[in-house]
Amino acid sequence: MTFMLMDELKKYYRNSSVAMPKRHYVNRFVRDFRSWTEKYVDFMHYTVPLRTAVGGDYKFPSEYMGQYGVYEAVRHIY
Q: Locate the domains of the chain by residue range.
A: 21-77
Give pLDDT tens digits for 65-74. Answer: 877 766 776 7
- Give the pLDDT of residue 69: 65
Q: Which residue has the higher pLDDT, 57 or 72?
A: 57
The mean pLDDT value for 2-27 works out to 83
In angstroms, the Cα distances linking 29 to 25, 66, 69, 78 are 11, 11, 13, 22
Its pTM stands at: 0.62
